[in-house]
Amino acid sequence: MANTDIEKLIKRRMEKAKSFLGTYMNDNASLNRLIRKKELNPEQYELAVILAIEDYNLTAPVTTVNLADWPANGLKLLLQGASIQFLIMAGVLQSRNRLNYSAGGVSVAVSDKANEYQSWLQWFVNDYETKKMNYKKFMNINNALDGDGSNSEYNSLYGYYW
């Protein structure tokens, strides 16, 4: 069975999103001098993108956006949301594999980056949540003016329609 045009578009955009995410997070084997490979695998990249879209959709007002109709000017929002998921996955792995040992007077810490990941995660979350909420408010107001937005009790104050 042949893929529909929408399925092809989603697949193409997913590949592009995964590539952009790797570039955005500098997850490159040549840059990861200690592990000499990418930190996350392609399935984890895809999961990060899917979870970012799901987070966007579950934030009020609830939407059903996918990669085929993701806002053209929303690439940074998508990358920041996916980066949050990336840092969560990589940070959990760092925490789980943390090992400190000492031998012959030399102390070594393996996978000891969880705190740094948490610091970056906090910055991404703060910036992302602010941008996401502002964008959703703007889109809802814009759509409400066109008659497609989510209504609220605040759209009519003192007899005036906003």
Give 107-142 pLDDT, tens digit per residue: 766 667 778 888 889 999 999 999 999 998 888 888
Domain that holds residue 43: 5-134
Q: CA 80, CA 84: separation in Å to the nearest integer?
A: 6
Which whole number is the average pLDDT over 18-47? 84
Q: Would you say residue 150 lies in a domain? A: no
Q: Would you say residue 161 lies in a domain? A: no
Q: Would you say residue 13 lies in a domain? A: yes
Q: Would you say residue 146 lies in a domain? A: no
Closest-CA residue to 98 (of 78, 123, 116, 73) = 116
Whether pLDDT at 162 is above 60 = no
Count of structural domains, the chain: 1
Indicate the helix (H) or strand (E) that contains 28: none
Q: Would you say residue 129 lies in a domain? A: yes
Q: CA 113, CA 93: separation in Å to the nearest integer?
A: 10
Q: CA 153, CA 92: separation in Å to the nearest integer?
A: 42
Q: CA 53, CA 123: separation in Å to the nearest integer?
A: 19
Whether pLDDT at 43 is above 50 = yes
pLDDT in the model for residue 156: 52
Q: Which two tokens stand for residue 117?
A: 């990941």
Whether pLDDT at 15 is above 90 = yes
Q: Would you say residue 19 lies in a domain? A: yes
Q: CA 124, CA 40: separation in Å to the nearest integer?
A: 18
How confident is residue 49, by pLDDT bands cut at 50, 70 and 90? very high
Cβ neighbour number for residue 12 with a 10 Å cutoff: 12
Closest-CA residue to 21 (of 83, 93, 73) = 83
Average pLDDT, the chain: 83
Contact present, 131 and 80 (Cβ < 8 Å): yes
Q: Would you say residue 151 lies in a domain? A: no
